[in-house]
Structure 1
Amino acid sequence: MTAIQLHYSHHLRRSTTQPRSRPPPPRRSHHIIISSAKSQPHCHHHNLSSRTLRAAVIGGGPAGSSAAEALAAGGIETFLIERNPSGSKPCGGAIPLCMLDEFSIPLSLVDRKVTRVNIVSPSNLTVDFSKTLGSQEFIAMLRREVLDSYLRSRAQSHGAQLISGLFTDLEIPTSSSAPYVVHYNIDGSKRSLHADVVIGADGAHSKVAKAISAGSYDYALAIQERIKLPDEKMRRYENLAEMYVGSDISPDFYGWVFPKCDHVAVGTGTARARGQIRRVYNSGIRERVRERISGGRVIKVEAHPIPAHPRPRRVRGRVALVGDSAGYVTKCAGEGIYFAAKSGRMCGEGVVRASRCGTRMIDEGDLRREYLERWDGEYRMMFRFLDGLERVFYGSDEGWEALVEMCGDEYVQRMSFESYLYKRMVRGDWWSDVKMMWRTLGSLVRARMIGREIDKLNGLGRKLVM
């Protein structure tokens, strides 16, 4: 969760919601509704009389594991290829509250329940962004190595076969019914697998995306250090997450201090100046939090790419991209775990529906109808809105000052957490929206005045140094 998401969803006007005080619905398993023959468009699919549909899922993170679980539970022969099942993937580790219920994530996997969120502006204005959180609400913080292992094991329990190997290449068939050939290595030994359907969940630099010519895309590079703090300083971050913005942190992203199980993750990211992230911007976030992490010991340094937008092509033939491979990370917020798992599940369920539980061949039209159109219908406007937020507020200290000031508004906080924690489209109050618009304009004006004063002070400081 980042404050930068603000209250995007009430602009979509999709539906009203229950108050946040209402307890979440009981846990339930997901169901796949198989379309009737009459609802299917005319096509030339053939039934698979002597076997079931075979699917290969590349990548064993939340996207791939959720896809594999849905496929295997739906009766499809499923292979899940993950290069390093025991490894840890770099990630902030925040997930929304609704994901615990929707994906049946046990609370034992949660390292920290964040109930306090501070946002710090370029001028060090600190805003408490958690004033409207309910007594039972929190942001779940966990480690990817723990979550990924759990989701993979659950996919295996439904029948998915895990292959610990490095995916290397994908051969594209020349006919609509011929199989794809998936090439991978196990301990240097070359192997191959034939599959009717391939789901690419192999990250931002996806080899599957490259194999199907999914198109160019931009990405941010994030770097974070896991730091073991002295006990007295770790107590500050028992349930606190901090986010920092400013040109010293990143020209187009934010910095963070997120609590983990027994340490904190301190990091930042940028798409515009990736070559300077370690020397300039990582040093910037460390300088901002110097007193709070002094005496700490760096136990791990991690770096990873973050997609900046969805790929131009996410389905081609019988290949679909999900998660980071498809570019499903929210602009300016960097949230990706929930959308990875959600897209993986939606894609897997779409294949099950289109193939009638693995009894018939599918084609590109099936994947577009059952997966891509459903995904875009639910989330495309949200991603576009967040892209617009970045254009307005990111890129200058003045914009960030205005953004942080806005985040102190309880209406903004209430709408933001309603959207983030429960991933549901909420309806805003029109008069509150009008007032917020005027407050936003006022914040931008005041922020530009503050920015000019900061520039004057910086200029004076440079003269004194000279």
Structure 2
Amino acid sequence: MESNICIKMKFSAALSLLSLTGINAFTPSSFTSTTSVAHRSAASTALSMKYKVAVVGGGPSGACAAEIFAQEKGIDTVLFERKMDNAKPCGGAIPLCMIGEFDIPENTVDRKVRRMKLISPSNVEVDIGDTLQPNEYIGMCRREILDKYLRDRAVSYGAQAIQGLVTSIDVPEDHRKNPEAPYTIHYQEYAEGNSAGVPKTMDVNLIIGADGANSRVAKAMDAGEYNFAIAFQERIKISDDQMKFYEEMAEMYVGDDVSPDFYGWVFPKYDHVGVGTGTVVNRPAIKQYQKAIRDRAGDKIAGGKIIKVEAHPIPEHYRPRRVQGRMALVGDAAGYVTKCSGEGIYFAAKSGRMAAEAIVKLMEGGSRLPTQEEIERTYLRDYDRLYGPTYTVLDILQKVFYSNNGAREAFVELCNSKYVQQVTFDSYLYKRVQGNNPLDDLKLLGDTIGCLIKGYSIAKPDAKYENYVESLKRL
């Protein structure tokens, strides 16, 4: 049984590439009854005190965390975001389950993708989507729309949004042992229409780092380094006739010409397409790979106007430390991007919500602050138990199917299987392993071996490159 599930998880994960709680009011601590004026004064102060939580970063992970904290009456919630109209570079694919789970209105979704073309290094095409039900789709979003919706909802619950860039954080030496020791956040606050920031500071009791791969919170807490990919995307405005092809269609290209260890994509947006690629092992050549994906798309995007160029780092694995004292990382800052597919939006939102829910529960109505050990025992343990195996399997799959053109040819051919498509879409759309058919699993294993043998026999050799110094760089 375990091996069957493992096989399905592997191929479910591989085709995930296509994506490519009210809390009671503040309850004061118990105080010994006394007529002392000093004691009455201390009690009065405690009763009026609120703990302050700073969420640094206003993307899905930060907004979903801030929303939970803001609903707790014993907590003041501050949400920092440098640019409230930020359009983060991103493919923008989200699974169907995210729409319901996070109560996201469908008007934040630009396109409902129901068809996908996978194109091999030798330009063999496989069409996918026959197994989808009429009400099923992969959502394609623009991050400036989705992020704003989630951020505005957190503000509507009571979070204070500050348009500011956190530059550094003063961490008290005894922040692990002293539950009341504050953190001091240094930031530049920006007013509307003014490019010059005003330096300010703020003392807070707990910090959620949701500030991406180059996280200042991670730096302050000495979270350690991680390897990263560079993702590059161009938003291209194409003709209305060309957009008709991409109305419900997305494309994914594999081959060492578009990426030596990832894939290239064409994802439809509201009135344009996002065309991009990514790599870890040869980052300096990213523009070369971007030109190749435009060439592979060919006439389908020919004559299009580039309206925006975007690039950003994507973490390749967990941070060595994701919790220190009363600071916790979520989303990209924690390294929650899956290998193989590069999917991060759902896991960002989920990690932000899970971290906040665990911490709010530990704070017992805002009456206490949690310890590092408590946060690790709840948030980290639960997240790793739920998603850790997925990250591990996807890491293995990336090494198997993206290592050379022979394996890429085999991957595309395997995607012809309706069984693979069904299990993959079900697993991606609902984030759970679907079905259990031992006979089909056994057949799939045999097909995999056969496809690998065939793929290696027909594939062109991979181009050689040397990038040893750059590939060792870390964030």
Alpha-carbon deviation of 1:341?
0.4
Q: Per-residue displacement from partner, 1:14-59 (whole Å, max 9, x unpaired)?
A: 9xxxxxxxxxxxxxxx47799xxxxxxxxxxxx9644122100000
**Aligned counterparts of 2:313 and 2:456: Cα–Cα separation in 1:** 32
Q: Which residue of 1 aligns with 2:415?
A: 407
**Aligned counterparts of 1:210 and 1:261: Cα–Cα separation in 2:** 37
Q: Which residue of 2 aligns with 1:106?
A: 105
Report the 3-state secondary structure (helix = DSSP H, G, I; strand = E; otherwise coil) of the residue aligned with 2:214: coil
**Aligned counterparts of 2:143 and 2:461: Cα–Cα separation in 1:** 41
Alpha-carbon deviation of 1:291?
1.3
**Aligned counterparts of 1:267 and 1:228: Cα–Cα separation in 2:** 14
Asked if the contact 1:178–1:196 (Cα under 8 Å) also holds between the matched residues in 2, the reply is yes
User: What TM-score does the superposition give when structure 2 sets the normalisation length?
Assistant: 0.85
Cα gap change, 1:230 to 1:74, in 2 (>3 Å): same
Superposed CA RMSD: 2.1
Alpha-carbon deviation of 1:272?
0.6
Cα gap change, 1:165 to 1:121, in 2 (>3 Å): same
- The amino acid across from 2:367 in the alignment is T
Q: Which residue of 2 aligns with 1:227?
A: 236
Q: Which residue of 1 aligns with 2:387?
A: 379
Q: Which residue of 1 aligns with 2:95?
A: 96
Asked if the contact 1:415–1:428 (Cα under 8 Å) also holds between the matched residues in 2, the reply is no
1:214 aligns with 2:223: yes
Asked if the contact 2:56–2:81 (Cα under 8 Å) also holds between the matched residues in 1, the reply is yes
**Aligned counterparts of 1:204 and 1:58: Cα–Cα separation in 2:** 13
Cα gap change, 1:398 to 1:10, in 2 (>3 Å): same
**Aligned counterparts of 1:430 and 1:153: Cα–Cα separation in 2:** 47
**Aligned counterparts of 2:230 and 2:68: Cα–Cα separation in 1:** 31
Aligned residue runs from structure 1 range 377-456, under 5 A: 377-451=385-459, 454-455=460-461
Uncovered stretches (5+) of structure 2, i.e. residues with no partner: 10-20, 26-44, 190-195, 464-475
Asked if the contact 2:423–2:433 (Cα under 8 Å) also holds between the matched residues in 1, the reply is no
User: What TM-score does the superposition give when structure 1 sets the normalisation length?
Assistant: 0.87
Q: Which residue of 2 aligns with 1:273?
A: 282
Cα gap change, 1:203 to 1:169, in 2 (>3 Å): same
Aligned residue runs from structure 1 range 181-330, under 5 A: 181-186=184-189, 187-278=196-287, 280-330=288-338
Q: Which residue of 1 aligns with 2:473?
A: none
Alpha-carbon deviation of 1:87?
2.2
**Aligned counterparts of 2:153 and 2:4: Cα–Cα separation in 1:** 32
Q: Which residue of 2 aligns with 1:65?
A: 63
Cα gap change, 1:95 to 1:249, in 2 (>3 Å): same
**Aligned counterparts of 1:139 and 1:56: Cα–Cα separation in 2:** 33
Alpha-carbon deviation of 1:182?
1.0
Q: Which residue of 2 aligns with 1:357?
A: 365
Cα gap change, 1:74 to 1:430, in 2 (>3 Å): farther
Q: Which residue of 2 aligns with 1:331?
A: 339
Report the 3-state secondary structure (helix = DSSP H, G, I; strand = E; otherwise coil) of the residue aligned with 2:213: coil
**Aligned counterparts of 2:272 and 2:452: Cα–Cα separation in 1:** 36
- The amino acid across from 1:184 in the alignment is Y
**Aligned counterparts of 1:248 and 1:132: Cα–Cα separation in 2:** 30
How many residues in Structure 1 have an aligned counterpart in Structure 2? 421
**Aligned counterparts of 2:395 and 2:113: Cα–Cα separation in 1:** 26
Asked if the contact 2:126–2:416 (Cα under 8 Å) also holds between the matched residues in 1, the reply is yes
**Aligned counterparts of 1:152 and 1:301: Cα–Cα separation in 2:** 24
**Aligned counterparts of 2:461 and 2:262: Cα–Cα separation in 1:** 21
Report the 3-state secondary structure (helix = DSSP H, G, I; strand = E; otherwise coil) of the residue aligned with 1:309: coil
Uncovered stretches (5+) of structure 1, i.e. residues with no partner: 1-7, 15-29, 35-46, 459-466
Asked if the contact 1:81–1:165 (Cα under 8 Å) also holds between the matched residues in 2, the reply is yes
1:128 aligns with 2:127: yes
Cα gap change, 1:395 to 1:13, in 2 (>3 Å): closer
Asked if the contact 2:230–2:283 (Cα under 8 Å) also holds between the matched residues in 1, the reply is yes
Report the 3-state secondary structure (helix = DSSP H, G, I; strand = E; otherwise coil) of the residue aligned with 1:289: helix
**Aligned counterparts of 1:386 and 1:140: Cα–Cα separation in 2:** 21
Asked if the contact 1:93–1:142 (Cα under 8 Å) also holds between the matched residues in 2, the reply is yes
Deviating 4+ runs (over 3 angstroms): 30-34, 47-50
Alpha-carbon deviation of 1:174?
2.4
Report the 3-state secondary structure (helix = DSSP H, G, I; strand = E; otherwise coil) of the residue aligned with 1:165: strand
Deviating more after overlay: 423-432 vs 335-344: 423-432
- The amino acid across from 1:327 in the alignment is G
**Aligned counterparts of 1:364 and 1:291: Cα–Cα separation in 2:** 55
1:86 aligns with 2:103: no
Alpha-carbon deviation of 1:89?
1.0
Report the 3-state secondary structure (helix = DSSP H, G, I; strand = E; otherwise coil) of the residue aligned with 2:275: strand
Deviating more after overlay: 420-429 vs 349-358: 420-429
Report the 3-state secondary structure (helix = DSSP H, G, I; strand = E; otherwise coil) of the residue aligned with 2:168: strand
Asked if the contact 2:253–2:263 (Cα under 8 Å) also holds between the matched residues in 1, the reply is yes
